[in-house]
Amino acid sequence: MDVKIIGICGGSGSGKTTIVKKITEVFDDFVFIAQDNYYKSAGHVGNDNITAFNFDHPDAFDMDWIYNNLLGLKQGKAVEAPVYDFVTHTRKKETRTIEPHSLIIFEGIMVFTDSRIRDLLDLKIYVDTPDDIRFIRRLKRDIAERGRTVDSVIEQYLSMVRPGHYEFIEPTKIYADIIIPEGGYNENALGVLLSYLKTLV
């Protein structure tokens, strides 16, 4: 099986997940993997001490597990992937079996950081959205969906998310084959991407 892996990278709130959701509305013949599932457990963290763990550093992820999963899928094998719980900030006991598929979409903030993982990607997309827009989106999303307060989002953003973005995420834009401005409602970019994806399955 000729397996293609598409990496979608970009800062928090850039619209990566929304792009994948929009694609899924019209085309779902692919396996989706979110990098968030590979966060290491941080059980000592709660929403009241969210900065007790730096989720915006490459060491926060199990990059070896990511690499081995993507390598296995590239070789046409089924793999066991972790499942992450955003409420407890820990990895769940159960794993997810990912069956082989000819098209894999892998999305996350540090998808281009590890060169072993980068080398497995057949197409690298970077979602490039201005910082102020990303912050506003994140603020609204984290309060609505991740149980956060205005103060905790601001504190985490200033101490970790923003520095991590400039140190580890934005510099990886140079690896992108395609840059999509603004994310999920960029209909022209979505149309081009969709047409290409359909040629891969």
Ligand X SMILES: Nc1ncnc2c1ncn2[C@@H]1O[C@H](COP(=O)(O)OP(=O)(O)O)[C@@H](O)[C@H]1O
Ligand Y SMILES: Nc1ccn([C@@H]2O[C@H](COP(=O)(O)O)[C@@H](O)[C@H]2O)c(=O)n1
Using CB under 6 A, list all residues that contact ligand X: 10, 12-18, 137, 141, 182-185
Q: Which stretch binds ligand Y (CB under 6 A): 12-20, 25-33, 73-81, 91-99?
A: 12-20
Q: Which stretch binds ligand Y (CB under 6 A): 11-19, 62-70, 91-99, 188-196?
A: 11-19
DSSP type of residue 27: -
Query: With binding defined as CB under 6 A, does residue 36 bind ligand Y?
Result: yes
Binding partner at 74 among ligand Y, ligand X, none, C-beta below 5 to 8 Å by kind: none
The DSSP string of 102-161 is SEEEEEETTTTSSHHHHTT-SEEEEEE--HHHHHHHHHHHHHHHS---HHHHHHHIIIII
Pick from 44, 89, 90, 70: which is nearest to 81 by CA? 70
Binding partner at 39 among ligand Y, ligand X, none, C-beta below 5 to 8 Å by kind: ligand Y
Pick from 174, 82, 73: which is nearest to 120 by CA? 73
Residues 57-86 that bind ligand Y (CB under 6 A): 86
Q: What is the CA radius of gyration of the chain?
A: 16
Contact (CB, 8 A) for 7 and 123: yes
Q: Which of 74, 89, 91, 101 binds ligand Y (CB under 6 A)?
A: 89
Query: With binding defined as CB under 6 A, does residue 56 bind ligand Y?
Result: yes
Structural element, H or E, at residue 8 = strand 4-10
Binding partner at 62 among ligand Y, ligand X, none, C-beta below 5 to 8 Å by kind: none
The residues binding ligand Y (CB under 6 A) are 12-13, 17, 36, 39, 55-56, 86, 89, 109, 161
